[in-house]
Structure 1
Amino acid sequence: MSTPKTIRWGILATGGIAKTFTKDLLVDPQTRGVTNVKHTVVAAASSSSQSRAQDFLKDTGCPADAKAYGSYEELVKDPNIDIIYIATPHSHHYQNAMLCLEAGKNVLCEKAFTVNAAQAKALAEKAKEKDLFLMEAVWTRYFPLSIYVRDLITSGRIGPVVRVTADNGFATDPEEAFGDGKHRLVNPDLAGGALLDLGIYSLTWVFQTLYHTQPEKTRQPPKVLAAVKNYSQTKAADETTTIMLVFPRSPEDGGDAHAVATTSIRVTTTPGGTHDAPSIRISGPKGEIQVFPPAFRPTRTKLILNDGTVEEKHWPHPGPGKGSGWYNGFGNGKNAEGEGHGMFWEADEAATALLEGRKEGKYEGLAESILIMEVMDEVRKQGGLVYPEKIETTKYPTEL
């Protein structure tokens, strides 16, 4: 057996999602059957202070010799970094990713990739110019569960997909929870709203089942019809968005396929957190694939065929295991002892791409990331949702 290649990561930003990712990143990949790569963190940066970066490195269990920086500009100059994970709000992704690419660093950038498609295209062009790896960190695409669902579709078990419904919603009272208007979910200065933050997962399921599973040479962009309800307090961030998509297909491939992607910060997919109803339904003439919530981190699927066949599967997230004393989670949530959050699979893919010399992700290339941004641009256009120019611009550098 060959020795796994160690990929050296830099972490840009030190908030909640960065902590979850980094803790997952440092779990031994062999616990999930990965033997070709290993991960280490050599540096982290906080835009507020070096001490915050130091606390982050300590809290996430990074190596003692990992460096702490008080600015992103210092981080990208570190010669020991192979790839940088960007964990800032999506309003800042374009400026942060361009900083990394200009400095010659490979990039794994959190979703939503950017604020608009023009920014995504500019990043893709810069990565190509610099011959660098660039990937949107849509972690859900890299779950074994997601691979299984896509394989079910391409195997023909349910026939050509006719319809997909996908929802990612949360039961929140935004006036009470985000009363000052500064939270990223409602703050227009952070490209706030349900669409870019939550709706990206609904669109992820639509695209990975109705677009990505089609032959690359024949698949076509969808037609889009959207309804957007803006949050009344700021009037510049959506609280509920519904998108209807029609994916053109030849008659031989089943004809046009329909999808409905919904998202809301006011109503949830399954009230009471029961997770007893599917958040994603993928329907074909022979049956249906159901994926149970949450849409971003599902752990259960059900295949139901017209002939009465029912195949239910549970997809636990690996990690150090019970008795390890190790915990991970996100926000106020905590997973079971020794259970990873699931962010390591996208890191494994990025590391493997570096090993193989690839410049894009395997399960969502840059062209598809750009297309999804174009769809969200159209949704925003139809809903009249516009953000401040400083976060919409492709001008670099721009002070945020």
Structure 2
Amino acid sequence: MSQPITLIATAAMGLESIVRDEVKQLGYKDSKTENGRIIYQSDLSGIARSNLWLRTADRVKLLMDQFKAYSFEELFEQTKDLPWEEWISKDGFIHVVGKSHKSKLYSVPDCQSIVKKAIVNRLQDAHQLTTRLEETGPRYKVEVSILKDEVTLSLDTSGSGLHKRGYRVGQGEAPLKETLAAALIKLTNWTPHDPFVDPFTGSGTIPIEAALIGQNIAPGFNREFSAEEWESIPSVIWDQALEEAEDLANYDQPLDIIGSDISHQAVEIAQNNALEAGLADLITWKQMQVKDFVPHAEKGYLIGNPPYGERLGDQETVEQIYRDLGSIMSQFPKWSVYIMTAYNNFESYYGQKATKKRKLFNGFIRTDYYQYFGIK
């Protein structure tokens, strides 16, 4: 096995710097930030630790190589030159996905087919096989990505996206991705000692992610990853990573977290999700309209993803929600308020200009993250 290895943590647009900071906090200092991804060096344990701990990354990939290719022949030969047998078992099921942009090799199905053929040939040679590969074993998802004739070949180590923490047993109409919810919290100065409120809790994602952060619980602790099945990564690597996560969790950390929503059904879903996450006793849930919300402490943090008023009939309701919230929070200047919305005139209805604004994407919806810093 060649050491060290190079990993890619993929990130949603606008979250690269947060993912980069998380990678550094894991101890991987040698990193490079690009659009939508952080590339960094690690050892084998980095595959397990990155998947377990990265709260805001979409997935973790093993970088096999990057090279220029202007013809299918070049793509085939350079793919075949790589040590696939070090990672893929001879009975491995190989699934190739691809994308191509501004490149001579623009036919994605052809590129996928050639990469698969090159890997199969390499494995047949390495294992001295004259027959077809069985492909009955662990699944290996290979990605061929071509941008301006530069090919990036990687192996997906995560399986399901990292936003799938394993606790969501129910969800509302427009659920917020867990990775984005964690990012909204990471973009604040909240600490586990501060009161925390989400008055638009929906299925509870923001308060649940806050509780995981507050007790330093690894977000991937209750799920599985595709690389766990790989023979190339000894099970002791995963055991050690899980042991480390267990040791670093601070289950005794008291938390003051409240999630509320106008919908009784949403609150019920949120409670069930928190129960599944093992956090039932850490979060208080309330059915409540925003206009009835009163902060329960002199200072704290309010983080929310309110309705955006995308349907015409909803606009007046949404504007009133923003007015109510602004009116309430103006009486509590020591509270820091963070609101993500796609509604253009949010500040005018809230009644105050944000201290800071950051562009974020909620799925394909462009939003602004309005940040109001409380008085110290």
TM-score by length of 2: 0.31
Task: Kindly name which structure, 1 or 2, has the bigger radius of gyration based on alpha carbons.
Answer: 2
